[in-house]
Structure 1
Amino acid sequence: MPQVLGWNDFVDTEAQEEYRRLHLLERIFDPFTFRNLDRFGLRTGSRCLEVGAGAGSVARHLAELAGPEQVTATDVSLAFLTPLTELGIQVRQHDVTTDGPPGEFDLIHARFVLDHLRDREAVLARMASWLRPGGWLFIESASTLPELSSRQATRRSMETLSRVMTEQVGTHTTWARQLPLPLERAGLLDCDTEGQMLPARGGSPLASWLKATTKLVEAHAVDTGLITRHELEEAYELYESPDFLDYSWLTIAAWGRRP
């Protein structure tokens, strides 16, 4: 078995390329996240925790809903989160797998975090224990669907992305399809889900993000013979072509309430 790396050991979380990739992620997925946040009746004074805050857009939105002093944003890397402190948001370096609770909260949100953790269900249960009675845990996870790719090159590139992330990071690329069962196993009530599958048209933010995310594994994949550079270049050209259209990335939002 290959040695599994932490996300910070696999990705340069302070690189400008990663900053641009995270901004693409926000542009694509924030509307879905924000719409689902409306479910929880957040108001001024609601205590909110954003786990794996990335470049900070969800934490900023939570601050608009609940007040910046009520929001805590955590990540293992704080490279892109300093501007949040100027708004009054509490920013903490925190490892959700090992560090103690950063408080008690009315809402805890994590997007594309649990997917990359080997002990994801134990971490989910830890986060659920940080909720106040009646508080909501809201998670978003993704599932790759290379078998639905419309072209051979993009199917191969997504299969390779999924394989490298699984072997190198411990990512589970289909765990999202089990939701909301893990929330129920954690003892939460009123659990439910909503899925979203956006079109990845060539030149769109989603296609550009899929290209940028595939580049995270490019060197390892080519060096180990999992895919050829020619195949990757063909996939990248498709991701830039307006004649390309694909549906191969599923996002699932899931939530549950602490009794």
Structure 2
Amino acid sequence: MSQAIGWNNFVDTETQAEHRRLRLLERIFDPFSLRQLEGLGVEPGWQCLEVGAGAGSLARRMAELAGPGNVVATDLSLKFLDPLTELGVTVLRHDVTTDEAPGEFDLIHTRFVLDHLPGREDVIKRMASWLKPGGWLLLEIGTTMPELSSHPATRRSMAVLTRVMTERVGTAAEWGRTLPVPLEAAGLVDCAAEGSILPARGGEPLAHWLMNTTKLVEPHALATGLITREQLDEAFALYETPSFVDYTWMTVAARGRRP
């Protein structure tokens, strides 16, 4: 197995292509995320932390709900977060695995971050310790399910995506399916979880996002012989074909409250 090097060493997180992929991610997954956030009853004055803010949409919504001066948005790359600073949100370069707490919070949220981190259970415990009494930790984790693909080509390409992300980034593709147990192990209460599976229909946003995410591992996968150019092109063609539908990506949202 190749040594894992982490997300920011494997993906160039500051390219315009990555910005487009993040904006597409927001378009697809924000409705589910916003329902989770708003379900916790965020009010003006809540101190909120967005870990791994990406292109900034969820921190922006937190600012609308709680007030921009009450929101901290962190990431290892801040290239796409200048608009948040202009709103009055505090934007910090911060490593959730090692850096000190950036404050005390009523709500901490992170999406598609912990599944790529080593020691993710310890990171949950760290974030739980940053909560005020009664504060909420809300996690969203992605999990690939290539075995459910409706076509051999996309089954193969998603299996390769999962393998490369596991070996080179350190991603735990199935870890989200253990939630909310890790939140309970961190001492949180009122824990619950919900899964969402959307149809990836050819030519539509989720299919395009899955194709663009697979392109992140394309050079490594081709160079190491995990997949051929022809096999990958067949999968990409399906992601553009309106008659193709797949259900191979699940988002799990889990929440827990500090007693």
The TM-score, its normalising length taken from structure 1, stands at 0.99
Report how far residue 87 of structure 1 moved.
0.3
Letter in 2 for 1:91: V
Deviations 1:9-61 (A, max 9, x none): 11111100000000010000000000111221111100000000000000000
Deviations 1:179-217 (A, max 9, x none): 000000000000001110000000111000000000000
Q: Which residue matches 1:176?
A: 176
1:1-259 to 2 correspondence within 5 Å?
A: 1-259=1-259
Q: Using the alignment, how far apart are the partners of 1:35 and 1:6 within structure 2?
A: 30
Deviations 1:137-169 (A, max 9, x none): 000001111010000000000000000000001
Q: Using the alignment, how far apart are the partners of 1:17 and 1:229 within structure 2?
A: 21
Q: Using the alignment, how far apart are the partners of 1:165 and 1:228 within structure 2?
A: 18
Q: Using the alignment, how far apart are the partners of 1:258 and 1:39 within structure 2?
A: 17
Report how far residue 258 of structure 1 moved.
0.1
Q: Using the alignment, how far apart are the partners of 2:255 and 2:151 within structure 1?
A: 34
Q: Secondary structure at the match of 1:240?
A: coil
Gaps of 5+ in 2: none
Q: Using the alignment, how far apart are the partners of 1:42 and 1:18 within structure 2?
A: 30
Letter in 2 for 1:242: P
Report how far residue 235 of structure 1 moved.
0.4
Q: Secondary structure at the match of 2:239?
A: helix
Q: Secondary structure at the match of 2:73?
A: strand
Gaps of 5+ in 1: none
Number of equivalent positions: 259
The TM-score, its normalising length taken from structure 2, stands at 0.99
> Following TM superposition, where does structure 1 have runs of at least 4 consecutive aligned residues deviating by more than 3 angstroms?
none
Q: Using the alignment, how far apart are the partners of 1:105 and 1:61 within structure 2?
A: 16
Report how far residue 6 of structure 1 moved.
2.0
Q: Secondary structure at the match of 2:92?
A: strand
Q: Secondary structure at the match of 1:252?
A: strand
Q: Secondary structure at the match of 2:208?
A: helix
Letter in 2 for 1:176: G
Letter in 2 for 1:178: T
Q: Secondary structure at the match of 1:193?
A: strand
Q: Alignment RMSD, CA only?
A: 0.6
Q: Secondary structure at the match of 1:37?
A: helix
Q: Using the alignment, how far apart are the partners of 1:178 and 1:67 within structure 2?
A: 33
